[in-house]
Structures are given as C-alpha cells and as structure tokens.
Amino acid sequence: MNILLCCSAGMSTSLLVTKMKASAESQGIDCKIWAVGNGEVRSHIDSADVLLLGPQIRFMTEQLKKEAGGRIPVAPINPMHYGLCNGEEVLKQAISLIKGE
C-alpha cells in the first residue's frame, strides 16, 4: 500500500507522515507513506495507491483527480485530523479510500 500526501511545499505533512507510519507499524500494516509539495505531486501519482491533500490545497482536488485518471482515489484530508496531526485517523482514511469505502 502506497500512500502519498501532498501540501503546498511538503513540509507541513512531514510530521503527519511520521505519525501515520508509527500508527501503521503499531497495527502491523505494511505500507509506504510519503509527502511531496504540490509542484512535485504529478511525478509521484503513478507510484501511489491513494493521494491525500492537505486542507490548504483542497481546491486542487478535482484537477488532481483528472490527472490521476481514475487510477487512484484523491481526497482532501479531514482538516480536524490534519490540524491535530492525527496519524491514526488519516491512515484510516487512506485505507478506506483504497478499499473503495
């Protein structure tokens, strides 16, 4: 499972990535989780199973869905979970999207 996070510069999601990795490890979930800035996201889409967007770039959701061509789910991260850096909840969101729930 490959989970890609994207924000304006890839910096604000880095702590969230760390929290998500810790949550995945504690649950025995094997996955790759990484973050990039919105200028780099297009070169990473093909390596991802899901793309989650930071709330500050949620306006790009439809554009990135088109660029993903329906191959992967693209969705904004819940602002509450993002703001609280709740890695467990964001991981749950990613897994649900991958499963098509």
Active site (catalytic) residues: 7
Check: CB of residue 6 under 8 Å from CB of residue 54: yes
CA triplet 61, 17, 83: central angle to 5 degrees?
65
Which run of H or E residues covers position 50? strand 50-53
